[in-house]
Amino acid sequence: MSTRVRGAVVITGSSTGIGRATALALDRQGFEVFAGVRRPEDGEALRASASGSLEPLIVDVTDGASIAAAAARVREATGARLAGLVNNAGVVVPGPVEGIELDELRRQLEVNVVGQVAVTQAFLSMIRAARGRVVFMSSIGGRMSVPHLSPYHASKHALEAIGDSLRQEMRRFGVGVAIIEPGAVATPFWDKGLGEAPKARAAMGADLLAIYGDELDRIEAASERTAARGVPPERVADAVVHALTDAKPRTRYLVGTDAKLQAAMRTVLPARVFDRLIARELGT
């Protein structure tokens, strides 16, 4: 295990999946990790799998007071110098554009976009002081879109734009900004998305369900197949470690063969041809 000389890192959404794998990978790399979770029991479970230098950090990215308290704790513990911030917390809201509840759309953007900006604002002075780095967890879904996930795609496209702007704004301070773009990942995140499907169906009502129900069935089945062949979250964690530690980090990291293939197809294929391929894959 590395000697703990790399400084401190904050990561949000560390309870499961990519966040948990990344927190543990950074811990092994010798960072002092502040692992953001929403529930104390999740933090203790994570601490039990890590070294004594990982500290759970209670933070809800949609709550300003929670973010401020987390930032105060990190400032006190680190002398206001932070080597890295990994904006990983996120949710997924499914459903056709015609049937999305507007409050659910707001929730999607509040967690995945506004929350990420709020956290970044709270910690950025500490990052700048240490000439550290910021990482945004986007998705291949930040480059392309598929049916019935428009809120999620909108949030990831927004993160891509915010990350690009922040990278340019921080260049003169020596602060690096990277965007991670995984494809399918074998994590509970897929379960959360599928778990939201019944709620989305109920909100649509009988008329819209009659229009979209069969298509939703096929898309959910395709999502389950995709999740089954997803890369392990440790692959994504490796990309985050590279973004935080390499002397010449990339601005973007595509993770997984499917992500690289889809990115290439989206670049070279006309939009209508790409649409037909997506429809064929989803069975719609």
pLDDT digits (tens, 9 = 90+) for 149-170: 999 999 999 999 999 999 999 9
SS3 at position 67? helix
Q: Do 45 and 51 touch, CB atoms closer than 8 A?
A: no
Sorted by where each begins, the domain ranges of the chain are 8-282
Cα pseudo-dihedral 211, 213, 216, 220, rounded to 10:
180
Q: Cα–Cα distance between 224 and 197 in angstroms, integer? A: 12
DSSP 54: -
Q: pLDDT digit string (tens) for 53-81?
A: 899 999 999 999 999 999 999 999 999 99
Q: pLDDT digit string (tens) for 208-217?
A: 888 888 888 8
Cα 88 from chain centroid (whole Å): 4
pLDDT higher at 231 or 187: 231
Q: Show the tokens assigned to 224.
A: 């389950």
Query: What's the pLDDT score for residue 152?
Result: 96
Q: CB-hemisphere CA count at 13 Å for 64?
A: 1
Q: Which of these is catalytic: 34, 123, 136, 152? A: 152
152 part of the active site: yes
Q: What is the pTM of this model?
A: 0.92
Q: CB-hemisphere CA count at 13 Å for 81?
A: 7
Q: CATH: 3.40.50.1360, 1.10.630.10, 1.10.287.610, 3.40.50.720. Which one for 8-282?
A: 3.40.50.720
β-pair type (84-87, 133-137)? parallel
